[in-house]
Amino acid sequence: MFSENPVVGDVVASALTGGIALSLLRFWGEIAKMGVLDQKLNRKLVHVSIGLVFILCWPMFSSGNRGAVLAALIPGVNIIKVLLLGLGVYEDEATVKSMSRFGDHRELLKGPLYYATTITLACALCWRTSPIAIAAICNLCAGDGLADIMGRRFGSKKLPYNKNKSIVGSISMVVAGFLASIGYMHYFSTFGYVEESWQMAYRFFVVSLVAALVESHPISTELDDNLTVPLTSVLVGSFVF
């Protein structure tokens, strides 16, 4: 995209994408450090934005394995960073605050680690021609993220089988995950990566609906939504796409 030489183009794309991702993480880190937003809201805004902004950058890379691997290195590096922070090898108060519920660095070894791993694997193994990658990332980022934000604010009515989850939160997850998936279906279809059709849209809805049902189950809370939501999206997506 940036050069007639695809290797040079991928290097430039990696630098730009890495810079964008780092800037976004720094931005939310500083917001958390200054206490501008509630810590839980700040954490969820990181959750929503990072993955969705990252996949916006995928068209900058070349097609094929090299582009996929170089793109995947960006969240892959973040896996290492999250591990080091979670294990206490080094300290970064702003990052820990922006990614954790209670400011404990050990929290990064669960949800944030699963999150970074999901995006890395979706990028490296599925890449931009696979609707499964779109479904997994959109349901994880937009779906699960908005479910928590809306549930905390308007979720007074709880689910009968899980008092930790709300009806509003679950509905928000289906809607947000589905709409984000449709948005990225259209976005990637303009580059010729995926097919844009009503049939594809229906399949995205099925994946978002099942992912929301699994997320609402008590076992998802025990394991971690950042693990169960993408796994469900991949498994269901493997059947419907």
| pLDDT tens by residue, the chain, 241 residues | 656 777 888 999 999 999 999 999 889 888 888 888 888 888 889 899 999 999 999 999 998 889 999 999 999 998 998 899 888 888 888 788 778 777 788 888 888 899 999 999 999 999 999 999 999 999 999 999 999 999 999 988 999 999 889 999 999 999 999 999 999 999 999 999 999 999 999 999 999 999 999 999 999 888 889 999 999 999 999 999 9
| Domain ranges (residues) in the chain | 1-127, 129-241
Rounded distance, CA 201 to CA 205, Å? Answer: 6
pTM of the complete model beyond 0.85? yes
**What is the reported pLDDT for 15?**
94
Beta bridge partners of 198: none
Rounded distance, CA 118 to CA 140, Å? Answer: 9
Please choose, from the candidates 139, 134, 135, the residue with its C-alpha nearest in 3D space to the C-alpha of residue 47: 139
Q: Residues 155, 168: contact at Cβ < 8 Å?
A: yes
Please choose, from the candidates 82, 93, 81, the residue with its C-alpha nearest in 3D space to the C-alpha of residue 33: 93
Q: Residues 149, 46: contact at Cβ < 8 Å?
A: no
The dihedral formed by the CA atoms of 53, 147, 168 and 211, expressed in degrees to the nearest 10: 100
Rounded distance, CA 82 to CA 100, Å? Answer: 11
**What is the reported pLDDT for 12?**
92
